[in-house]
């Protein structure tokens, strides 16, 4: 599903190049649950953003279902992203001015889904995640765990083939964290590919495979407990 | 999708009410200004369009150089109209209008002084579209002693009764029978008459006299005719008619005089519709508009709107930093850049829509005030619904794209990766943009402030300049001719009052009153070199002391000298032009009244007995021209010089005496200095309109600055707290925060300076006596903008300077 070849990412600051990723080579198969681990500043989030097409590579090749992402225009990239990828962040990143319902609906709007279909899709999600009662609340009125639940629902609503999660439980207490991770496992079993970034060994244990990043290099692969 | 954009914009605006409020107020102010000025400009540009044949009607005017002086004259000789019809096949019809701006009209006990009386040829109603309510216009004007009156005048004289068939007496002209009533002429026309008499009633209109020119002459050209062709042929045709007369006068042919450069005659046909804005004759029916002010005000209105748009750009880009996270999120869930840009355009669109709604209701409310300010009668129904729609759509399109364009592009360009990570994205570009925009706002404010100051100074200059006469403590009695032969007795009786020091009977004062313009001949030599166009005043022996005029040589008129009937007092300008070193004793040839009527020149000889120092007998627009004072009995006005502080008692005394001497006549008076001030009413109007612009531009600019200061205070709170922790005093912090604003205001003023100097010089060029442009103006403007800017930002900046650093740093 995903093929990264010698991905390098650096930022130029004056005459100094700061490397964040160096020659990353990675294959991810459809239906996999992958964890990226590493110390702070290792390049985990950057790798995730590149995978999510929010950031571009400096060098190297990125194939998504054999489509060369590194060659696409911004517009085509946005399209590919709209069709296939859902994001979940550590700090939820819901839109403060929109209700739960509207937050869920927004990705569908960008995908230009028809109104009737939007309505049924949002209703499905609210139902499936058990947040029907919360649909008219604003994010600030929800607990952290509930917000993350909405964020996952928002990521799932376009039926993505890939979910990218950046420390999804980082801001949650352990009980809420376990619920979210259980939800990811369930989604993965239903066929969604998931790539998460985490510091937590406990979260990593939910995945099939772990790669370790350090200073931008991939320093190791390991099969996870469930893998 | 659009609906969603509006929806989320609405949410955002209702959450950030301060931000929304500042923008709506600014945009509303800008739009109100634009709408009002659009109405005004539209009105100014649509004068005389109600005449159906307007595009074929031209007014014949002439540029004449004679005796070394150029003049642009709007009136022609009595036979000129007939000549146009005979000699130019392009001319389909002509109308002559003879205007009387002061005539007392009465019917029974009802007496009014009419300033809008005219006599016209019968073709008036064919050429111009002047709807008649009663009677037959052309037929009525074909007969002598017939009069048409406006509906308002008919009511004024006859109340609800029928006016047609009744008689009005025009003083000095006899009885006229009313033959019809016409609708009041619309405000947007370059002439307005209340009474129109038949031209055949006037003897001078019937004469084939080429030496007087008192008739405004309008030509209706045949469709497709070229006015330029008529202008080109004019001199040749005129020569045919007046050549022999000219030669007998000057001893050389017209062609020769033109070749010598002493004489020039150029016909200029003014298209009817452009008269109001573009005609600047010495004598018009009424004061015209001025195209310069139309452009000036249009630009000023756009600048005010520009300032409001700039506010939006400033505040929106400043807010953008807070919205970066939202952009990041939206991009991460699949928004494309164009979708985001559209969303951020929806916001200014909505704001301008709201602002337009508010602006329209405000326009309805302030229109009467605006009319008062501009002396207009503008109405909303003046322009068609479709034009309103166009105006509204235009305003919204311009404001939302100008205001929203840059913020939309800037916001939609945020890199989600960065903003999601760090929470915001500080753009260096935005900072420079905001600075430039603030500079723009203060440049506009500075320019407008200097504009108001320059206009004010010119008015003040006119009011305080040494005019050569004393305009204070002079009361002028209008309608003195109503006293008839008792005028002298009246004057003498009043002189018995100790509060009245001098009194003079004359028709001529250095404020708008009668003036005779003619050509005098130095040392009685009839040739081009000695011909001097002069203005003539008819005065009595008390004229000089009453007005406080200063004799610089010779003596005043005196009753003791029986020969003073043939004496003149001239001003220095005349003496200079004649080249006299010792003017007293020189002879001056003045065409006699009878001589002109016989179509040949006979000069009466006058002796110069005195020279009066130059005084401004016209506005400061023109230089002091040669002036001749002659003794004459012209009892139109009586001017009284009174002792300071006794104005009220003098008026009371005058009224009592008047009521005794002329109980049936209207008692009207004015003070000379007030009438003088009214000569600068046009300037005063410009000053007031500009002042409104200043308040708007500065006010709207300050709103934006306040928003910006609030934003800056928020952003720099942390930096300033760290500085304080490191030992900076509140004053240091304050200085550091204010420095930037001071710098911006300085740059803005530096930019405004050359523009203002250029503009002011252009405007002052219309005055022969411009007020000097002092440094003071610019210092005032600079100080004003600086103080206003600092006051605006002071509150927010003080908050930061006085804040407890611990609080700002706690949340790091």
Cβ-contact B141, B121 below 8 angstroms:
yes
CA distance A22 to A47: 10
CB neighbour list of residue B518: distance below 8 Å, 6 or more residues apart: B533, B534, B536, B590, B591
Neighbour tally for B197: CB within 10 Å:
27
Nearest to B73 by CA among B301, B293, B365, B279: B279
Interface subset of A 134-193, CB within 8 angstroms of B:
154-155, 158
Q: Please give the Cα distance from B807 to B812 (Å, whole number).
A: 10
Q: Please, are residues B65 and B260 in contact by the beta-carbon 8 Å criterion?
A: no
Of B540, B456, B551, B469, which is closest to residue B510 (Cα–Cα)?
Answer: B469
Q: What is the rounded distance in angstroms from the CA atom of residue B700 to the CA atom of residue B626?
A: 51
Report how far residue B554's alpha carbon sits from residue B552's, in angstroms, rounded to the nearest whole number: 7
Degrees, nearest 5: CA angle B102-B104-B107: 150
First vs last C-alpha separation in chain B: 38
> Does any CB of chain A come closer than 8 Å to the CB of residue B248?
no
User: Greater confidence, A227 or B764?
Assistant: B764
User: According to the model, what pLDDT value does residue B137 have?
Assistant: 78
Residue B424's pLDDT is what?
47
Sequence-ordered list of residues with C-beta below 8 angstroms from that of B606, at least 6 positions apart, any chain: B566, B567, B568, B587, B588, B589, B590, B628, B630
Annotate B232-246 with three-state secondary structure: HHHHHHHHHHHHHHH
Q: Is B723 exposed, middle or buried (0-12, 13-18, 19+ CB in 10 A)?
A: middle
B750/B745 Cα distance (integer angstroms): 9
* Cα distance between the two ends of chain A: 18
CB B602 within 8 A of CB B592: yes
Chain B residues closer than 8 Å to A97 by CB = 8, 11-12, 15, 326
Check residue A195 and give its pLDDT.
Answer: 95
- Domains of chain A in start order, with CATH, are 2-223 (3.40.50.300)
Q: How far is A202 from chain B (nearest CA, A)?
A: 24
CB B116 within 8 Å of CB B153: no
Using the Cβ of B203 and the Cβ atoms of chain A, whether some distance falls under 8 Å is answered with no
Q: Which two tokens stand for residue B495?
A: 């002189």
Please report which helix (H) or strand (E) contains residue A26, including its range. Answer: strand A16-28
pLDDT for the residue B594: 53
Cα distances from B421 to residues A11, A46, A151, B417, in angstroms, run: 15, 10, 17, 6
* Pairing of the two strands A162-166 and A85-88: parallel
8 A C-beta contact, residue A101 and residue A179? no
Q: What are the Cα distances from residue A135, in Å, to A90, A100, A104, A126?
A: 22, 5, 9, 7
Dihedral, A12, A17, A20, A25 alpha carbons, nearest 10: 110
Say if residues B243 and B255 touch (Cβ distance below 8 Å): no
Q: What is the pLDDT of residue A26?
A: 92
- Beta carbon pairs, A and B, within 8 Å: 64
What pLDDT sits at residue B703? 84
Tell me the residue ranges of DSSP E strands in B67-170: 69-73, 75-76, 91-100, 103-107, 110-114, 117-120, 132-134, 146-150, 167-170
Which chain A residues are within 8 Å of B344, Cβ to Cβ?
none
State how far residue A109 is from chain B, nearest Cα, in angstroms.
7
In degrees and rounded to multiples of 5, residue B613 shows phi and psi of -60, 150
Does the structure's ipTM exceed the value 0.85? no
Taking the C-alpha atoms of residue B650 and residue B641, their distance in angstroms, rounded to an integer, is 10
pLDDT digits (tens, 9 = 90+) for A177-195: 898 899 899 999 999 999 9
pLDDT at B524: 67
Distance from CA of A20 to the nearest CA of B (A): 13
The reply to whether residue A78 touches residue B11, judged by beta carbons under 8 angstroms, is no
* CB-based contacts of B334, cutoff 8 Å, min separation 6: A78, A81, A82, A85, A107, A110, A111, A158
Instruction: Provide the pairing of β-strand A59-64 with A2-13.
Output: antiparallel
Q: State the nearest Cα–Cα gap between B728 and chain A, in angstroms.
A: 32
Residue A213: other Cβ atoms inside 10 A: 24
CA B356 – CA B393 distance, rounded (Å): 10
Q: Does B421 touch chain A (CB under 8 A)?
A: yes
Report the alpha-carbon angle B158-B163-B166, nearest 5.
Answer: 95
Give the 3-state secondary structure of residue A92.
coil
Which parts of chain B sit beneath pLDDT 70?
Answer: 67-69, 418-430, 514-515, 524, 526-529, 592-602, 805-812
């Amino acid at each position: 599903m995903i093929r990264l070849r010698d991905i390098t990412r650096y930022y130029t600051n004056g005459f100094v190049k700061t490397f964040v990723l160096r020659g990353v080579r990675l294959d991810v198969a459809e239906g996999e649950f992958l964890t990226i681990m590493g110390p702070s500043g290792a390049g985990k989030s950057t790798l995730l953003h590149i995978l999510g097409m929010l950031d571009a590579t400096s060098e190297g090749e990125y194939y998504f279902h054999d489509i060369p992402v590194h060659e696409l225009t911004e517009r085509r990239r946005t399209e590919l992203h709209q069709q296939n990828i859902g994001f979940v962040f550590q700090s939820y990143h819901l839109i403060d001015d929109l209700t739960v319902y509207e937050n869920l609906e927004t990705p569908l709007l960008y995908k230009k889904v028809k109104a009737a279909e939007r309505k049924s899709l949002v209703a499905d999600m609210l139902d499936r995640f058990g947040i029907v009662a919360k649909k008219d609340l604003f994010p600030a009125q929800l607990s952290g765990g509930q917000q993350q639940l909405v964020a996952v629902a928002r990521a799932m609503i376009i039926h993505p083939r890939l979910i990218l999660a950046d420390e999804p439980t980082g801001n949650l207490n352990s009980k809420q964290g376990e619920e979210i991770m259980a939800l990811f496992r369930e989604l993965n079993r239903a066929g969604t590919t998931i790539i998460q970034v985490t510091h937590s060994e406990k979260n990593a244990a939910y995945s099939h495979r772990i790669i370790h990043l350090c200073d931008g290099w991939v320093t190791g692969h390991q099969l996870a407990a469930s893998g | 999708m659009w609906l969603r954009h509006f929806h989320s914009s609405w949410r955002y605006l209702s959450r950030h009410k301060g931000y929304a409020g500042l923008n709506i107020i600014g945009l509303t102010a800008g739009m109100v200004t634009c709408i009002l000025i659009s109405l005004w400009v539209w009105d100014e540009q649509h004068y005389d369009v109600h005449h159906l044949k307007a595009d074929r009607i031209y007014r014949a005017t002439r540029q004449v150089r004679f005796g070394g002086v150029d003049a642009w004259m709007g009136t022609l000789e009595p036979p000129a109209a007939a000549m146009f019809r005979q000699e130019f096949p392009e001319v389909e019809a002509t109308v002559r209008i003879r205007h009387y701006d002061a005539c007392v009209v009465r019917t029974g006990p009802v007496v009014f002084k009419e300033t809008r009386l005219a006599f016209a040829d019968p073709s008036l109603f064919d050429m111009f579209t002047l709807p008649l309510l009663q009677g037959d216009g052309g037929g009525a004007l074909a007969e002598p002693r017939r009069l048409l009156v406006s509906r308002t005048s008919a009511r004024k004289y006859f109340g609800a009764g029928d006016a047609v068939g009744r008689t009005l007496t025009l003083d000095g002209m006899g009885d006229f029978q009313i033959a019809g009533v016409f609708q009041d002429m619309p405000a947007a026309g370059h002439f307005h008459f209340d009474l129109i008499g038949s031209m055949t009633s006037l003897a001078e209109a019937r004469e084939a006299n080429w030496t007087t020119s008192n008739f405004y002459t309008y030509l209706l050209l045949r469709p497709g005719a070229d006015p330029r062709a008529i202008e080109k042929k004019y001199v040749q045709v005129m020569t045919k008619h007046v050549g022999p007369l000219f030669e007998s006068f000057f001893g050389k042919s017209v062609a020769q005089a033109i070749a010598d450069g002493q004489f020039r005659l150029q016909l200029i046909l003014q298209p009817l519709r452009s008269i109001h804005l573009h005609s600047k004759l010495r004598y018009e029916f009424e004061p015209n508009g001025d195209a310069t002010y139309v452009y000036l005000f249009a630009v000023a209105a756009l600048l005010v709107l520009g300032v409001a748009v700039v506010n939006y750009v400033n505040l929106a880009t400043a807010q953008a930093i807070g919205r970066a996270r939202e952009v990041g999120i939206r991009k991460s869930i699949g928004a494309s850049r164009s979708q985001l840009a559209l969303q951020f355009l929806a916001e200014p669109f909505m704001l301008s829509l709201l602002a337009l709604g508010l602006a329209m209701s405000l326009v309805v409310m302030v229109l009467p005030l605006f009319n008062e300010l501009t002396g207009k009668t503008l109405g909303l129904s003046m322009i068609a619904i479709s034009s309103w729609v166009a105006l509204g759509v235009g305003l919204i399109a311009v404001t939302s794209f100008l205001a929203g364009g840059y913020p939309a592009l800037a916001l939609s360009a945020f890199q989600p990766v960065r903003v999601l990570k760090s929470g915001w994205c500080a753009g260096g570009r935005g900072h420079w943009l905001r600075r430039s925009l603030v500079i723009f706002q203060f440049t506009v404010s500075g320019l407008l402030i200097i504009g108001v100051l320059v206009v004010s100074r010119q008015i003040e200059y006119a009011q305080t300049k040494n005019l050569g006469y004393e305009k204070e403590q002079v009361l002028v009695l209008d309608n003195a001719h109503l006293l008839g032969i008792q005028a002298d007795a009246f004057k003498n009786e009043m002189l018995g009052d100790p509060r009245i020091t001098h009194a003079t009977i004359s028709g001529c004062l250095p404020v708008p009153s009668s003036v005779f313009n003619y050509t005098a001949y130095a040392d009685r030599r009839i040739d081009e070199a000695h011909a001097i166009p002069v203005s003539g005043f008819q005065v009595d022996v008390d004229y000089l002391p009453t007005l406080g005029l200063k004799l610089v040589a010779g003596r005043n008129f005196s009753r003791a000298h029986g020969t003073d009937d043939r004496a003149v007092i001239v001003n220095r300008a005349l003496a200079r032009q004649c080249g006299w070193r010792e003017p007293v004793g020189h002879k001056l040839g003045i065409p006699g009244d009878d001589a002109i009527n016989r179509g040949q020149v006979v000069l009466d000889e006058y002796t110069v007995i005195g020279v009066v120092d130059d005084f401004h007998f016209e506005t400061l627009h023109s230089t002091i021209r040669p002036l001749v004072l002659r003794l004459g009995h012209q009892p139109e006005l009586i001017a009284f010089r009174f002792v300071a502080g006794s104005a009220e008692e003098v008026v009371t005394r005058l009224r009592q005496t008047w009521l005794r001497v002329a109980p049936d006549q209207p008692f009207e008076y004015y003070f000379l200095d007030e009438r003088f001030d009214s000569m600068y009413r046009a300037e005063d109007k410009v000053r007031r309109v500009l002042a409104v612009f200043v308040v708007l531009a500065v006010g709207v600019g300050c709103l934006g600055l306040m928003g910006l200061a609030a934003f800056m205070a928020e952003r720099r709170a942390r930096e300033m707290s760290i500085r304080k922790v490191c030992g900076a005093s509140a004053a240091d912090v304050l200085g550091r925060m204010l420095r930037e604003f001071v710098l911006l205001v300085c740059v803005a003023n530096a930019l405004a300076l050359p523009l203002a100097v250029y503009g002011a010089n252009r405007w002052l060029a219309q005055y022969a006596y411009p007020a000097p442009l002092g440094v003071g103006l610019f210092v005032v403007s600079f100080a004003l903008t600086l103080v206003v800017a600092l006051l605006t930002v002071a509150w927010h900046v003080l908050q930061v300077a006085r804040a407890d650093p611990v609080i700002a740093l706690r949340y790091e």
